[in-house]
Amino acid sequence: MEVLPLTPINIPVSSLAAVHRETSWISNPENAPGSTVDEFEGETIFDSLPPLFRGHPEIHLRNGVINASRKVASNVLDAEKAFFVADLTQVYLQHQRWLRCLPEIEPHYAVKCNPDPYVLRLLASLGAGFDCASNGEITQVLSIGGVDPGRIIFANPCKATSFIRGAAKAGVDKMTFDNADELHKIARVHPTAKLIIRILADDSKSICRFGIKFGAPLEVVPTLLSKAKELNLDIIGVSFHVGSGCYDPTIYEDAIRRARDAFDMGQRAGYQFSVLDVGGGFEDARLEAAAAVINRAINQYFPDREGITLVAEPGRFYVSRAFSLATNIIARRAPMTEDGNNITISNGDQATVMYYINEGVYGAFNCIMFDHQTVEPYVLSMNGSFHVAASEPVSASSVWGPTCDSIDRVCNSVQLPSALQVGDWLGFSNMGAYTICAASRFNGFQLSDVIYTTSKGGEEAREALRNFAVEGHGH
């Protein structure tokens, strides 16, 4: 990875002049620039949540580093703690993009992807629905206020009986199933549920495949429909999931064709389906391509859509790019000379220097283990400066998490400046999907905090949140 200077951002010079100064404020914190996160005017919209700042995420990443250096100078425990910066403008813009590309399809945000309280409140204020996988997620969404239970799909085909009972008590009727045992459970504890049969889709073109665990093959659908009739259960539609992180959107065409077959089977069984759920798998970079395939396939297989509601379960599409992570280099291992000095050896792509940071695969980088993600670090600060010259020598390096487990490796081999030292900071972009939600406290390490901001064009997002709060929700 070529290390380049930080990309310029369009922010008033008065706000950033001090932050950009080439002063060694880490070793001399009394020289730290005066503009810090604490001094930006944060707006408290919800009593229970942190303030919402303004400005590009890079401002708050850099100011977070400055604040950490001051805490280090004051001997504050865990002063160099890693932290996220969340840009809610990005979430808002993704929602608008969804409405432009797939105007007929109601998004139901997959809470499992990132149940961040600000994200949930923003999407609720924008009228989105929610895909919940557990009783806990249902409770979290409904506790916000302002979300009708009808906007929730309990989209877990295999649920605990007590969870089904809990959904009934909460007024959540829409839920998925893919097997006969699930039908018997639902008939016992939630007989008025509105069921959606999840059919098996080809998920071979996705990073995370679900077909091995969920989805009824088309050949067993008639039997399941017959059993539902026997149990006097109401089936209202069909869903599928092509897998998380779909890298070939053409696969949606085949899934929608299968859904058409399932609709026809439903009609023959005496049902009149009214919901088509095209699931998740939506990638940020491929939304337009996926939308073109989906819109074309729906027009082909569902030309008459009167009385049919189209929904989807996007997750990572909304939040992946909205979250950035700042991590501190807490330790370093490198070859040494006989006199005890570190040396840097260039050995192609084979890592010779090991950097240890204060986030790892048991924390925010669990996405590497569970979501098959590859992360790319960049230098946030080095030797008290936020600027890294393009001419700065680099060497192959590995990046490791803070735990005592040897599987806690973040990057196998990346090109990083040879001059990086303990106390410098590495940044990571696109850290919003399947990161915070699955982080643990293994080895006693704490979860990373989040700083919230809205960047340029974010006034609409702030206004939506304010109106939501004024209506009495989200506190």
Q: Which residues are catalytic?
A: 404
Cβ neighbours of residue 284 under 8 Å, at least 6 residues apart? 94, 316, 317, 320, 321
Cβ neighbours of residue 393 under 8 Å, at least 6 residues apart? 344, 417, 418, 419
Classify residue 253 as exposed, middle or buried by CB count within 10 Å of its CB (0-12, 13-18, 19+).
middle
- Cα→Cα distances 384→8, 341, 358, 423, 451, Å: 19, 22, 19, 9, 22
Tell me the three-class secondary structure of the chain, residue by residue: CCCCCCCCCCCCHHHHCCCCCCCCCCCCHHHCCCCCHHHCCCECCCCCCCCEEECCHHHHHHHHHHHHHHHHHCCCCCCCCCEEEEEHHHHHHHHHHHHHHCCCEEEEEEHHHCCCHHHHHHHHHCCCEEEECCHHHHHHHHHHCCCCHHHEEECCCCCCHHHHHHHHHHCCCEEEECCHHHHHHHHHHCCCCEEEEEECCCCCCEEECCCCCCCECHHHHHHHHHHHHHCCCEEEEEECCCCEEECCCCHHHHHHHHHHHHHHHHHHCCCCCCEEECCCCCCHHHHHHHHHHHHHHHHHHCCCCCCCEEEECCCHHHHHHHEEEEEEEEEEECCECCCCCECCCCCCCCCCEEEEECCCCCCCCHHHHHCCCCCCEEEEEECCECCCCCCCCEEEEEEECCCCCCCCEEEEEEEEECCCCCCCEEEECCCCCCCHHHCCCHHHCCCCEEEEEECCCCHHHHHHHHHHHHCCCCC
| Residue corresponding to tokens 């959540």 | 172
